[in-house]
Chain A
């Protein structure tokens, strides 16, 4: 992209983008640590994840203030306007991801009567890995101005939803087999749902990135796989 005649404007826009990337980087690291803490039952690490969310909240405020100030002082137009408005939306989505991951940390540090050796942990790890990829890719799409990459993210959320469905059924089965697993399995259900929703925010960001770059909304059918609302207990089969 050609530079602005006023160079300070370019610098401010670059700073805004770098703050988004910084925020996204923290959210990614939090998700990695939260899952690691869950799998290893590392409560101190889980608490660190919870504490880190405040950094994301501060960055979000920072980004909002910068965006408002840019709009007031520079009267942005066209792609600049879309980029600034988009940054506000992306910051909101990342902030939500931070909250969801923080909740995973909270559940890990409070799940005392932990049912060890739960096989579902592998599924959760796998799901978190997919969501992490989605978040990474969509942030790359934002940083490198690549609408096609954003579209790619938008099209691949269905895999995560399907994984969430199978985890849901799996956990229901465990709970029926052994009532002692109910507390921890319920925590895992929520954790899986949190990860799945973090993935939804990644697709929101993908929509925003696509709009910033092209001025068009992503449209058309998107593969959706979340049928957990329709799931039933295995005994009813």
Chain B
């Protein structure tokens, strides 16, 4: 009986595939940027992430969603080894960035942080000028040979972050004097100033009002042309708006991952359905 059903559903699958063919995109699918295989994270005795495997494509936004304590932020932070600073934290399994193992002991973590940038929940500009906030990264990583070059990096980063027009006349004012939304875009400018491959965002809009949120979301959508973006968000509507792929975490397990449209209209796992429809617990 089972095999008959299987055969039928496979027939339907091939039918659907042949129907869908004319609609297939002409461009090739984006390449995979980050690969995680059987990743486990422990905080002392606590097993925070359990056997997570996922492929994260380049030039797209991947959203991690799930209830508080599900491990989504922990997993995000293990992608640029932010967890290294926590003494009781252990990570095993394999995470690759463009095929390179990021937990290779020979790897320079400072270099990794330049390649995998991070934006936090609360905007955290340095208590320095707007200019210095953006110039800091390129300077310590030696990305600019001259002052002119550094000026150029600062300007393009601010333009890319959609902030330049608002701050061009006061680049020497302190960054902490900006509004919350501007501060967050300043932090994004700071992250992209070192030309990273990946930008990790941990609830980048949860401290912002709806207009500032919309500006950051618009920015995220523009940035995905050039970067691989991974965003952790508590707002499912935000995940639905900004991401191309969505991964749902629960109790340290990656329950389901797929195209955002599919996850939000027709999730396959009951736990995903219960969470996104507001039926949890």
Q: B137-145, B204-212, B262-270: which lies at the A interface?
A: B262-270
A78–B12 CB distance below 8 A: no
Q: Does A73 sit at the interface, judged by CB under 8 A?
A: no
A75–B273 CB distance below 8 A: no
A3–B277 CB distance below 8 A: no
Residues of A within 8 A of B278 (CB): 4-6, 9, 77
Q: Does A52 sit at the interface, judged by CB under 8 A?
A: no
Q: What is the size category of the interface that chain B forms with chain A?
A: 10 to 19
Known interface pairs A215-B265, A220-B12; A78-B277 also in contact (CB < 8 Å): yes
Residues of A within 8 A of B16 (CB): 219
Residues of A within 8 A of B272 (CB): 78
> CB-CB contacts of A58-83 with B at 8 A, as 1s and 0s?
00000000000000000111111110
Closest A-chain residue to B280, C-beta based?
A: A5
A220 to B278, CA, bound (A): 34
Expressed in whole angstroms, the minimum distance between the Cβ of A208 and any Cβ of chain B is 15
B273–A5 CB distance below 8 A: no
A3–B12 CB distance below 8 A: no
B267–A78 CB distance below 8 A: yes
Closest A-chain residue to B8, C-beta based?
A: A220
> CB-CB contacts of A196-237 with B at 8 A, as 1s and 0s?
000000000000000000011001100000000000000000
Chain B interface mostly: helix
Expressed in whole angstroms, the minimum distance between the Cβ of A94 and any Cβ of chain B is 24
A1 to B278, CA, bound (A): 12
Known interface pairs A219-B12, A220-B12; A82-B265 also in contact (CB < 8 Å): yes
Expressed in whole angstroms, the minimum distance between the Cβ of B127 and any Cβ of chain A is 38
Residues of A within 8 A of B265 (CB): 77-78, 81-82, 215
A75 to B279, CA, bound (A): 14
A76 to B278, CA, bound (A): 9
B236–A77 CB distance below 8 A: yes
Chain A interface mostly: loop
Q: Does B276 sit at the interface, judged by CB under 8 A?
A: yes
Residues of B within 8 A of A220 (CB): 12
Could you say which of A3, A81, A216, A219 contacts B279, with CB atoms under 8 Å apart? Answer: A3
Q: Does A2 sit at the interface, judged by CB under 8 A?
A: yes
Known interface pairs A77-B264, A78-B267, A81-B265; A5-B276 also in contact (CB < 8 Å): no
Expressed in whole angstroms, the minimum distance between the Cβ of A149 and any Cβ of chain B is 19
A10 to B218, CA, bound (A): 33
B277–A219 CB distance below 8 A: no
A78 to B272, CA, bound (A): 9
B277–A4 CB distance below 8 A: yes
Residues of B within 8 A of A77 (CB): 236, 240, 264-265, 276-278
Q: Does B237 sit at the interface, judged by CB under 8 A?
A: yes
Expressed in whole angstroms, the minimum distance between the Cβ of A113 and any Cβ of chain B is 52
A4 to B264, CA, bound (A): 16
Restricting to B251-275, which residues have a CB under 8 Å from any CB of A? 264-267, 272-274
Known interface pairs A219-B12, A219-B15, A220-B12; A78-B276 also in contact (CB < 8 Å): yes
A4–B279 CB distance below 8 A: yes
A78–B264 CB distance below 8 A: yes
A9 to B274, CA, bound (A): 14
Expressed in whole angstroms, the minimum distance between the Cβ of B210 and any Cβ of chain A is 14
Q: Does B281 sit at the interface, judged by CB under 8 A?
A: yes
A135 to B209, CA, bound (A): 49
B277–A80 CB distance below 8 A: yes
8 smallest A-B Cβ distances: which pairs? Answer: A215-B266, A77-B276, A2-B279, A80-B277, A4-B278, A77-B277, A78-B273, A77-B264
- With A1-B279, A78-B264, A219-B16 already in contact, 11 other A-B pairs whose C-beta atoms are closer than 8 Å: A4-B279, A5-B278, A5-B281, A76-B277, A77-B236, A77-B278, A78-B267, A78-B273, A82-B265, A215-B266, A220-B12
Binding site for A on B (CB under 8 A): 12, 15-16, 236-237, 240, 264-267, 272-274, 276-281
Would you mind naming 24 contact pairs between A and B with Cβ atoms under 8 Å apart? Answer: A2-B274, A2-B279, A3-B279, A4-B279, A5-B279, A5-B281, A75-B236, A77-B240, A77-B265, A77-B278, A78-B264, A78-B266, A78-B267, A78-B272, A78-B276, A79-B273, A80-B277, A81-B264, A81-B265, A215-B265, A216-B266, A219-B12, A219-B15, A219-B16
